[in-house]
Structure 1
């Protein structure tokens, strides 16, 4: 092919026909007609659904409209293929050692690829048009092996070179800027990137897919099985190439060198996305070799990545836990569109609740902490690790030792890897469970990894939410780790704190920790009625609707209780759990942390981040050092973190 430059020139000439005559105009076929429809675009399938239902297409042999049902089924299965490849590539606990580009996918890329499935609508229209114009194609047999060989021959002889030359033409200066730049705007390839493109690109792709299918059909070898097999294999290979995970062992191509030219690898295609001037083939590198566009690094890089030795050690780990079955579906490898927004219960996600429950049972059996997500901040790698235990298990007495063993195992693993800081999420640092991490520090005094509960920054966030002119607050959970620190800090500031506790002994102990001239500002109360005139409530313990009713109108409920309280009062305001927004230069973050908005993390998470960025060498476990609250707050602001 290197000796046929005329082919490339003619291909570019044909495609340039679609360019606009004025630079002021958008290029024809560069945007989808249903771009502004949002979710309503799926109503475009309505006519096919109506035809399938109205003619009872599922009763094969009684109607001639069974092709409608096949098109709809094929559309659904193709979407599943893309989703499964996304799920696989996002299971970092399985794929982290074979990732090609190490960075994570951020919200900007997720939003850009939100309508990745537009091409499926186009292709189902094309399929409907073909079946409508050629009625004989509606009566295909279930399977015909001869058609498979014919389609394979036409794919190699026609589809592969057609795609190669058009793809190469799309990389010319004018066509790339008007059409192909959208596809390459996604820095981290994934299965949804495979569907991201302009209508003109997908028309070319559709033509490459149709040639083998129509060719086999015209010679009388078409079949239902051929259409399913070819289209799904086509999508499977496209998703594989965009998966950003090397799935082929390096030794395979050393044992069988000729395979290098018959099937591309994810590494091979990722090189096309990163360098853009080589590796244009569809699935067969043979055409790049003939066209002189084969990247010489393709096989050496593939071998290096497939070895599984090229991994990054994070500086910081946030050890999270699952709240309940519903929130477990919020992980990135389930539905990206769901995890990229703040968690909320939506009707359609409830359909997957049984699957989440079954996964929960599997996780109990697995009982191993796994990597969930990661991001880069100020040049340092931060990772989410998850303990496979659900919220309610933390309150089962017989589960205590098992949970602590898993947390300890994660700490020792992080210590062995060389992680600098490990921060414990809410229930993983429960005082009754392990004393806020004290158990592990005492048991392993020589730990290099710093254990951080992050409560110092949590206290700082809550305290800085309180208006400066407040003179009295009502505090529940007053003798807890956070409650104690908040009460002592406010007492020192001469703010009257109504501490709800039945334990006079615990109250007296906390009261004695503040200066003598401030002790009068800490007041023990035993009933909620004592706060009937107080408009600032700090909630560290679950309170019922009846208890909330005792607050006066206009009350603001600050809270650090997990799970957060439900807001029953319309005449009051409810704060969310203490959280901070990460700096703008954070990279690779594409998952919302539970109910928080994009870019925000819980304060205990942020506390660990600050600990890591400051390179502090002490453990932050056990009781909160009240003297460090302002210090930690200033350090957080210095590094660009802001209250959420």
Structure 2
């Protein structure tokens, strides 16, 4: 059994913990508490305050993850990993607790229900009580109680276990700490109310500002310009910056203050390098060039909400449709149009593997836009700018996601390499490893396969590889000329294993389908029962047939020593990336100096596969 008040009583409720708000919500509805003459308007105000508090932390966390805006001012260079996201999943427990405390206060002290909307005297008194009581009290409790002996290991160490502080980390505390903080926070509010100067404006404003400053201090992004402290040196003792607070998470015996470093100065716990580090962080000390970039794209409007700068917990799970996303769809659609107009490649996440920084960039284009004839040049311009930007930064390898290397768009990246022959960054389409993943997923005893998208880059490589293994390949294509060109690439003794077919009915007895072109229900009906659909088509086909099985897009699991990864790539599981992404990773780890663009070199498929396994990547 754990220490008293070291765990939340509703920690096993999951999402059902929000039913604890039920009685208040019911009271608001029954009494019409939103009306000005209602005696229960405090219930409505209390729920509204809880919602706004949650919104503060959500927005601050989103801001922290907007790497395309603030990557130069990151304090900790590491990314937030799945372990930290899971630990901080219920970061808002303290809001529920303080909602209970507020409800009890309004129930026990009826005069609180008659508070005016504003009273300037109460604001002034709250400021005095905060500086004179709350700040020194928090400093003493934080330093002398929660950083001493067993109390630290039993309670406060949980808060310090988060490697990269973010706004949610501010609420990642034990119930005991939350109760103590609520008392400290309540001193200015109740003190003003006892003097008869309290108001709803004071309660809202003080709690909101308290949460904002706490969240900002944990945001891992420096937001206070160092020139302000240079111009007004006294301010550095009155404002606790994110850099200042981050030092406390590393050097646990310094920088204990709540919001005002002057108490660390008076208590002798002010870290001597606080201002120097603040100046360095704001100047971009942690802004370095990544070794590897994966240039992705958005699939559709729904998937555009699956990014860490919207809600990190959502993107820490494989993407799937969720009902609560429906109201957000119009907003996401408007953002799509804005991104289309802005047309700037942006950084969405990063991780570290084998000491190399891997970043994920995204072109602001959605799946359907790649198939608009008039959008071709614009999309290529954005990809080209991203490649040139990466080259200028010193990136070693840039890997192209599925539609960014479309053959009809830019010849699998060959367009950019031919246009800029002096590129230092290696451009990689990653399709060699994609082909290897698909081929190694086919059972060894297979004698015949049906291949759609047969004349594409991947289709060609798969067909040529399989025919060398004496496997009969039914290549679906209407172009006899393109089929014959591929057939002639095969050694003479294996050419007869490649067979051109023009109808889906030709595969009605073949149970291994390799899908490189989207299939409708009507087309899938030609597959016999028990068929397995391997696929490399984007977006993946819909599994209409219950008597068949459907493989996911080619993917590989990253090595176990990956650090800072907290984003699921589209519908893939945690730690799993698309094969084209993994192909770029292997290219970097192997130190290969060639570009991997244009047609796939069939002779390198087994070589790339063995290299991937050697570096710890695993087939899914």
- State TM-score, norm by structure 2: 0.99
2:617 matched residue in structure 1: 641
User: The residue matched to 1:574 in structure 2 has which SS?
Assistant: strand
Measured after TM superposition, the shift of residue 251 of structure 1 is: 1.1
Match of 1:213 in 2: 189
In the TM superposition, what is the alpha-carbon distance from 1:351 to its structure 2 partner? 1.3
Q: Which whole-Å CA distance do the structure 1 matches of 2:275 and 2:197 have between them?
A: 38
Distance in 1 of aligned mates of 2:518 and 2:249: 51
Aligned to 1:130: 105
Q: For 1:528, which of 504, 514, 518 is the aligned residue?
A: 504
Partner in structure 1 of residue 213 of structure 2: 237
Counterpart CA distance in 2 for 1:244 and 1:479 is 49
Counterpart in the other structure of 2:411: 435
Within the candidate set 26, 50, 54, 1:79 is matched to 54
* From 282, 290, 310, the counterpart of 2:258: 282
Q: Which runs of 5+ in 1 are unaligned?
A: 1-24
SS at match of 1:381: strand
1:385 aligns with 2:356: no
- Residue 546 (structure 2) pairs with residue 570 (structure 1): yes
Give the match for residue 474 of structure 2. Answer: 498
CA drift at 1:339: 0.4
Match of 1:67 among 42, 56, 65: 42
Deviations 1:220-257, CA, capped at 9 Å, x for gaps? 10001101100000000000100000001111111111
In structure 2, the residue matched to 1:17 is: none
The SS at the match of 1:351 is coil
Deviates more, 1:365-374 or 1:191-200: 365-374
Deviations 1:122-160 (A, max 9, x none): 100000000000001001111101100000000011111
Q: Is 1:554 matched up with 2:530?
A: yes
1:19 aligned residue: none
CA shift for structure 1 position 354? 1.4
Match of 2:94 among 102, 119, 140: 119
Aligned position for 2:84:
109
- Structure 2 residue 67 is matched with structure 1 residue 95: no
Show the counterpart of 2:449: 473
Q: How does 1:358-437 map to 2 (within 5 A)?
A: 358-437=334-413
Following superposition, the deviation at residue 627 of structure 1 comes to 0.1
- In structure 2, distance between residues paired with 1:261 and 1:321: 45
Q: Secondary structure of 2:78's partner?
A: coil
Question: Could you tell me how far apart the structure 1 residues matched to 2:180 and 2:367 are?
Answer: 51
**What secondary structure does 2:351 align onto?**
strand
Contact conserved, 2:75 with 2:286, CA < 8 A, in 1? no
Q: Counterpart of 2:350 in 1: which secondary structure? A: strand
Q: 1:601 aligns with which of 570, 574, 577?
A: 577
**Displacement of 1:274:** 1.3
Q: Is the Cα–Cα contact under 8 Å of residues 433 and 583 in structure 2 kept in the other structure?
A: yes
The 5 Å alignment of 1:248-259 reads 248-259=224-235
Distance, in Å, in 2 between the alignment partners of 1:310 and 1:50 is 50
Of the three residues 292, 313, 316, the one matched with 1:340 is 316
Cα distance, 1:310 vs. partner? 3.5
Match of 2:167 in 1: 191
Number of equivalences: 619
Distance 2:334 2:478 in 1: 42
| Residue 115 of structure 2 is aligned to residue 143 of structure 1 | no
> Counterpart of 1:542?
518
Counterpart in the other structure of 1:166: 141
Q: What secondary structure, in the 3-state scheme, does the structure 2 residue paired with 1:565 have?
A: coil
Give 1:279 shift: 0.5
Q: CA RMSD in A?
A: 0.7
Residue equivalent to 1:155: 130
Task: Give the secondary-structure state (helix, strand or coil) at the position aligned to 1:35.
Answer: coil
- Write the deviation string for residues 567-586 of structure 1: whole angstroms up to 9, x where unpaired: 00111000000000000000
2-structure distance, mates of 1:643, 1:346 = 28
Gaps of 5+ in 2: none
CA distance in 1, matches of 2:31, 2:476: 69
Give the Cα separation in 2 of the matches to 1:30 and 1:316.
Answer: 42
Q: Does the residue aligned with 1:104 lie in a helix, a strand or coil? A: coil
For residues 478-525 of structure 1, give each alpha carbon's deviation from its aligned partner in whole angstroms, at most 9, with x where no partner exists.
Answer: 000000000000000000000001111111111111111101110111
Deviation at 1:173, TM superposition (A): 1.8
SS at 2:34's partner residue?
coil
Length-normalised TM-score, structure 1: 0.96
What's the counterpart of residue 44 of structure 1?
20
The structural deviation recorded for 1:365 is 1.8
Query: 1:26: how far off?
Result: 1.6
Matched, 1:326 2:294: no
CA–CA distance in structure 1, aligned partners of residues 315 and 323 of structure 2: 15
For structure 1, which segment, 360-369 or 216-225, has the greater mean C-alpha deviation from structure 2 after superposition?
360-369
- Residue-by-residue CA offset, 1:423-466 (whole Å, 9 max, x unaligned): 00000000000000010000000000000000000000000000
State the distance in 2 between where 1:231 and 1:549 align. Answer: 61
* Partner Cα distance (1:488, 1:37) in 2: 55
Q: 1:455 corresponds to which residue?
A: 431
Q: In structure 2, how many angstroms separate the alpha carbons of the residues matched to 1:454 and 1:325?
A: 25
Deviation at 1:309, TM superposition (A): 4.5
2:489 counterpart SS class: coil
Cα distance in 1 between the residues matched to 2:285 and 2:567: 26
SS at match of 1:192: helix
**What is the match of residue 297 of structure 1?**
273
Distance in 2, matches of 1:158 and 1:126, equals 20
CA distance in 1, matches of 2:522, 2:26: 52
- Equivalent position SS for 1:580: strand
How many angstroms apart in 2 are the aligned matches of 1:396 and 1:553?
36
Query: 1:342-383: per-residue Cα shift (whole Å, max 9, x none)?
Result: 000110012111111111111112111111100000110000
Distance in 1 (alpha carbons) for counterparts of 2:329 and 2:249: 37
Q: CA deviation at 1:308?
A: 2.3
Deviation at 1:336, TM superposition (A): 1.1
Task: Establish whether residue 616 from structure 1 lines up as the match of residue 584 from structure 2.
Answer: no
Task: Find the counterpart in structure 1 of residue 152 from structure 2.
Answer: 176
Which residue is 1:6 aligned to? Answer: none
Distance 2:619 2:321 in 1: 25
- Whether the 8 Å contact between 2:451 and 2:514 is mirrored in structure 1 is yes
SS of equivalent to 1:408: helix
